[in-house]
Structure 1
Amino acid sequence: MRTATVDADLDRSGSLPARDGAAGWIVVVAAMIGLGLGLSPMPFYTIGMFAPELQKAFGWSFAALMGSITVQSLVVMATGPLAGLAVDRYGARPVALVSTLLFGLCFMSLALSGGNLWLYYGQWVLMSTLGAGTLTATWTYTVNGWFERHRGLALGIASTGTGITGFLIKPLSAWLIGEFGWRLAFVAIGALPIMIGLPVIALLFRERDAAAPRAPSGRVVRAEEPGHTLREALRHRHFWIMALAFLLIAFALTAPTPNLENILRTQHFALAQIGAITASFGLSVIAGRVFGGWLLDRFWAPGCAVVVLAAPLLGQWLLAQHGIAPGTATLAVVTLGLGAGFEFDLLAYLIARYFGRRAYGTIYGCFYTVIAFGGGIGPVVYGRVFDVTGRYDSALMTGMVCLVVGSVVLLAMGPYPQWSEAEPSPA
């Protein structure tokens, strides 16, 4: 059943709603909430809060606890492309509904951890498999379909969901753990996708094709989206340039984040100072999403990458210095957040521009595998460097090199291909 807003956007010929219309912005809000309550941000931003509690309860090492992020990343390497394929085949909304429910239940199950590290990792495997439909591909697939002229900004606003989660979930987790213990905190946080995410997705999240007119047979008339198939994309140099670039960028941007509190401890900040400094990360992620999306609508995306990724390059350099002041540490955290916020906007925008939407979900899933690999090994490498040396200096310098090489490699992408939207055809 079409909403009044969508009906208002239909033109007189009964064709699909116009791109960049009011209905699309409602979908952006739904995507923002769905993404913020999904597999990508929630475990990532809460592991740093739960890790000390699990370490005290079960005696697990810090590196072993960070290994859960690696487990998630390795599983997503396999399930990300499958989730993207499901989006291309069945649509984003049903995938989002099912996966959001299952993800929430799996997160709640972490409250049952009993001290067996391998069973704990197994819970992360299950959560990462069933929650893969809440990853970025599901939401950006739909947002891309609603926008053309303001696509970058729309993607940026939708992606702020992860930044909002990053800003709110840490203090919420700390309060829940302090008041009710870590087990009930897992249950309460896992309930958020079910209690908030599911109703929003059911009521507001719609693909542009859902407003299409119906054929006499009653079947929906869908537009045949332009673009490459996965096979065609794999044969193109753009695919492999992006794969190398995002492998390096993901490593450099992901590695410091779950280690951030511990990095600041090595700088001899008190716990209260660390909380105040890291609170700026989530807000800067939001700023990176929106500002990055605004830039992408106006300038060539690979050039934007070079400019924006200079910020986390500076941040890692600052954190590698000895005895930094609180203001300097805050600046470093803000620059890291700006880079982290821009990463997935950039990926979604580049895929839509260089490969089109014909197999967007599947191609995005393949790139998510690359990002999952780079991002998965990053936190463990940083944690291992700390275990061996007691500091993060050399790890941070490695991240700086990866950011420089990754952003420069993207300059080889060349101009955007020109895609033209095909006529609707019966589904």
Structure 2
Amino acid sequence: MSDTKALARAEWRQHWPLVLAASIAFSFTSVMTASTGLFIEPWTKEFGWSRTLLSSGMSITSVTTFLFSPVFGVLIDRIGTRRMALPGLLLLAATMASLSLLNGTVWMWFTIWTVYAVAALATKSTVWTAGVASAFDAGRGLALGLTLSGSALAQAITPPLTNWLIDAYGWRMALVWLGLGWGGLAILLCVFLLFDGYDASRKERAKNPGAADSKSLLSDAPGLSIAEAWRSAALWRIAISTFVIMVVTIALVVHQIPILMEIGVSRTAAANYAGMAGLAGIAGKLVTGWLLDRYPARWVGGLTLAATAATFILLLLPNRSMPIIFTAMFINGYAAGTKLQIAGYLTSAYGGMKNFGAIFGTMASLIALGSGLGPLLGGYVFDTFGNYDPYLWIGIFGTFLSAFLIFGLPDYPEWVRRRRVEESFI
């Protein structure tokens, strides 16, 4: 076990710059999701659009990701993450800033979001998860936790920052600052620090051109073939669980500001609560990463996802006080923020790294579908019933179903069990 800890420390000494770059870049890809709720009010006042329409932008991105994620997953296995991420980040930053040019025409709204969706394909969680998982083994859980904490960092910083930018400079300049400022930092870090196992494999192949016939850069790593992955009951449970939790939690992220304002919280206070939930999410990812490296992932993941139900229950209580709201947002930030981390770790454990990009890319299609349906569901519920209560009930059922699917996973595959048995004799 001491050798395992030494290996983890060695991995961190070598690859901490990769985790830093991936985390900041992933935080940038989450900025639009975390800030959309704050733009709903000014967009509604200026353009008179419904919340269903305003939720459609993220849905366009999700549908595009749903359709094309498997293709981009295969590309990750063949060209690596760096060649995917850098052009994607450049286009994402430019497109986010271009939302400042909206003039009230619906066709312009859909056009910008369609371009944004293409950029998002090259910068989704699959890219950062694959890059970090390719470089870490003994410390993979914590490394994924820190990397995917980028989304929690965005959730913590973006709402209060966006609220301040809107008040100080207006919603148009707020989008420019978020797109070019945050995006510029992410691009610079990735240019200088984003080097992972795919890059190491490419260099090795360059030295020995005939050493590997497979088009996958990680063909020598243990794992399932594409056909075996499609037949894996464990991977299907992980995918369906993640789809369900994404539907209910992404809707809460996008609509949390209007939900809190509906129960009497000011926009500024709601933004601060959302930021607090993001800070709790960072803690959740770090604690969950530490636990995943030490305990069975089905128990860690199942308990964490089940705890998310408490958020929806608390928000349904009558006469909700500030302590209740604080507790609800804290629990949601802590528990729901780990969903991609749990999905990525479980996919690498049950699917292996040989075809991780293709497998997780396919799973990302269901994740994207859930992310797209969630905001639409929240907007539709409000437009139909005049409040969000029916959606909160759906959230309770969905979180328990998601947790049940993870609890029911089988033992780890042979390659994971063999590695852990070997570690126990060290």
Give yes or no for TM over 0.5: yes
Measured in 1, the distance between the counterparts of 2:328 and 2:271 equals 14
Structure 2 residue identity aligned to 1:135: K
In structure 2, the CA distance between the partners of 1:193 and 1:100, relative to structure 1 (3 Å rule), is farther
In structure 2, the CA distance between the partners of 1:21 and 1:395, relative to structure 1 (3 Å rule), is closer
Aligned pair partner of 1:20 in 8, 11, 17: 11
Which 5+ residue runs of structure 2 have no aligned equivalent? 1-7, 212-216, 419-426
Structure 1 residue identity aligned to 2:230: L
Q: What is the aligned residue count? A: 404
Aligned pair partner of 2:42 in 28, 53, 57: 53
RMSD, aligned α-carbons: 2.3
Q: Deviations over 1:65-90 (max 9, x none)?
A: 11212222111112322222221111
Aligned pair partner of 1:180 in 161, 166, 169: 169
Quote the residue 2:4 is aligned against.
none
Aligned pair partner of 1:283 in 279, 282, 305: 279
Structure 2 residue identity aligned to 1:185: A
Task: Compute the displacement of 1:161 (Å).
Answer: 0.9
| Identical amino acids, percent of aligned pairs | 28
In structure 2, the CA distance between the partners of 1:372 and 1:215, relative to structure 1 (3 Å rule), is closer
SS in 2 for 1:37: helix
In structure 2, the CA distance between the partners of 1:215 and 1:281, relative to structure 1 (3 Å rule), is closer
- TM-score, normalised via structure 1 length: 0.89
In structure 2, the CA distance between the partners of 1:278 and 1:218, relative to structure 1 (3 Å rule), is same
Indicate if the aligned counterparts of 1:107 and 1:186 stay in contact, CA closer than 8 A: yes
In structure 2, the CA distance between the partners of 1:193 and 1:275, relative to structure 1 (3 Å rule), is closer
Quote the residue 1:124 is aligned against.
113
Matches within 5 A, 1:255-270: 255-270=251-266
Indicate if the aligned counterparts of 1:226 and 1:358 stay in contact, CA closer than 8 A: yes
Q: Deviations over 1:310-349 (max 9, x none)?
A: 3211111000112210111011011111222210110110
Task: Compute the displacement of 1:234 (Å).
Answer: 0.5
Which 5+ residue runs of structure 1 have no aligned equivalent? 1-16, 422-427
1:412 aligns with 2:371: no
1:29 aligns with 2:17: no
Quote the residue 2:231 is aligned against.
235
- TM-score, normalised via structure 2 length: 0.89
1:210 aligns with 2:206: no
Indicate if the aligned counterparts of 1:277 and 1:326 stay in contact, CA closer than 8 A: no
In structure 2, the CA distance between the partners of 1:390 and 1:194, relative to structure 1 (3 Å rule), is closer
Indicate if the aligned counterparts of 1:147 and 1:154 stay in contact, CA closer than 8 A: yes
Structure 2 residue identity aligned to 1:59: G
Structure with more helix by fraction: 2
Indicate if the aligned counterparts of 1:37 and 1:193 stay in contact, CA closer than 8 A: yes
Task: Compute the displacement of 1:176 (Å).
Answer: 2.1
Matches within 5 A, 1:107-256: 107-211=96-200, 214=204, 224-256=220-252
Aligned pair partner of 1:293 in 289, 293, 300: 289
Measured in 2, the distance between the counterparts of 1:124 and 1:220 equals 43
1:362 aligns with 2:370: no
SS in 2 for 1:344: helix
Task: Compute the displacement of 1:36 (Å).
Answer: 0.9
Task: Compute the displacement of 1:217 (Å).
Answer: 5.3
Indicate if the aligned counterparts of 2:44 and 2:50 stay in contact, CA closer than 8 A: yes
Indicate if the aligned counterparts of 1:77 and 1:373 stay in contact, CA closer than 8 A: yes
Quote the residue 1:13 is aligned against.
none
